[in-house]
Amino acid sequence: MHFPKHIFISLLLLLVTHPLQAQPLALLDTIAANNLTLRSLKAGVRAVGEEARAELRLPDPEAEVAYLFGSPSAVPNRTNVALTQELPWTVLSGRQKAAAQATSALAEQDYAAARQQVMAAGFDLLVQLVHSNRLEAEMLARLRAAEAVEELCAQRFAQSDLTAIEMNKARLNRAVAEADCRRVTTEREGVVRQLRALNGGLPIDCHDTTYSFSVAQWCAPQVAFPTLETAAVRRAEASVKQREAELRLARTRRLPSLTVGFTGEYIPHNNYSGLSLGISLPLWGNKQAAVRSSEANLLAAQLDRADAHTQVGQEAARLRAEALRLDGVARELDEALQATESAALLQRSLDLGQISLLDYLLEISFFYTARTAWLEADRDAHQAAAAFRALNL
């Protein structure tokens, strides 16, 4: 008999091997806009900026009025008036403003680093989703093939050309294919739920069956390592600058602070008024301790910066090598699979009675194992390439 479903099954397998082009990366911008963590951090950045700017103004002036009763009764009453304004050197010198700007810049880089992590997670999930789409199409093709084999075996069993044991094997093969389809669909739904959570709870989906970037192009040897441009490195640089500004601010605070004001003393028939000038006396070394603390914080930030450069360079090298190696494995498997066309050949051979059902099931399992290995190697290569690229997102 003819095998009318093998052409449809071959087309499904071809779709998995050479799927339609798509652009799932466009969803990353949607995730970045809707992610609740990023929206919260963005609001926090604005709050840090406002708090830093609040410290740029001079302290509020102080006013004091005292009415003093004379004693004994012959002594006249007296009224004292004082108005003072503190003049911190930190504000007058601009050190406070520089520290505020450095703090705001660090908050911005904290947000950028968090955004990079969210984008990297979204990128990885999108790669997983494309893989799930491809695997779902693959399992559907395998289910259709299993149903066709079961139909063929049922016809032969009715003609007594097949034993009951072989018929049960065909049914079991179809049942396993159905279970694989349900499993893959469940896994895909899990990935979609993770993407939805990353997208602030808003629906997000992608039915593309191809990766919208080339591993070889993104991870080619001539592509520079993103050592100096990553969010982690920029954040470390901003932290050093913020610690430097804090150290300069702490050193400025060691200077005696000035206070200017107006003072008046009013007694009947005798009034005294004029300007006042005050100065703090840094006798106990409290400000020097703050300087030593700032120096230690600066050293720690500088070490963190050096570590960030090293870690990013090592991670970039690892991801590039892993992506290229896995891409080579995927290409080799793809070429081998395209050269064999085992599925269609095995189906035709079974249809024509050239091989037994047992031989078919054994050979097709080898073919399916190879296709699954290719799909997984291709996914792993694209995940590594996406992680490499995400260092600069």
- Tens of pLDDT, residue by residue over 153-202, are 898 888 888 889 888 888 999 999 999 999 999 999 999 999 999 999 99
Mean pLDDT of the chain: 84
For the chain, the domain total comes to 1
Assess if residue 1 is contained within a domain: no
pLDDT at 127: 94
pLDDT tens profile 30-42:
898 999 999 999 8
Confidence of residue 225 (pLDDT cuts 50, 70, 90): low
- Yes or no: say if 80 and 68 are a contact pair by the CB < 8 Å rule: yes
- Residues 280 and 289: their CA atoms lie apart, in Å, by 17
pLDDT for 70 beyond 90: no
Assess if residue 117 is contained within a domain: yes
Confidence of residue 341 (pLDDT cuts 50, 70, 90): low
Residue burial 291-324, b: 16+ Cβ < 10 Å; e: rest? beebeebbeebeebbeebbeebbebbeebbebbb
Q: How far apart are the first and last CA of the chain?
A: 57
pLDDT at 16: 43
Output the six-digit token pair for 380. Answer: 């792993």
- Residues 260 and 186: their CA atoms lie apart, in Å, by 74
- Residues 119 and 228: their CA atoms lie apart, in Å, by 19
pLDDT tens profile 270-320:
888 888 888 877 777 777 888 888 899 999 999 999 998 888 888 888 999
| Range ranked top by mean pLDDT from 256-265, 356-365, 378-387 | 378-387
pLDDT at 187: 95
Q: What is the DSSP string of 229-241?
A: TSHHHHHHHHHHH
pLDDT tens profile 106-151:
999 999 999 999 999 999 999 999 999 999 999 999 999 899 888 8
Return the DSSP state at 163.
-
pLDDT at 331: 93
- Residues 226 and 231: their CA atoms lie apart, in Å, by 10
Classify the C-alpha dihedral 228-231-234-236 as positive or negative: negative
pLDDT at 59: 81
Q: Which domain holds residue 319?
A: 6-390
* Residue 193, amino acid: R
- Please give the residue that has the higher pLDDT: either 27 or 106: 106
For the residues 70-92, what does the mean pLDDT come to? 83
For the residues 4-32, what does the mean pLDDT come to? 54
CATH number where 127 lies: 1.20.1600.10
Distance from chain centroid for Cα 172: 43
Nearest by Cα to 58 from 28, 25, 24, 92: 92
Output the six-digit token pair for 146. Answer: 């299993």
Classify the C-alpha dihedral 163-178-155-345 as positive or negative: negative
Q: What percent of the chain has pLDDT over 90?
A: 34
- Residues 123 and 126: their CA atoms lie apart, in Å, by 5
pLDDT for 21 beyond 60: no
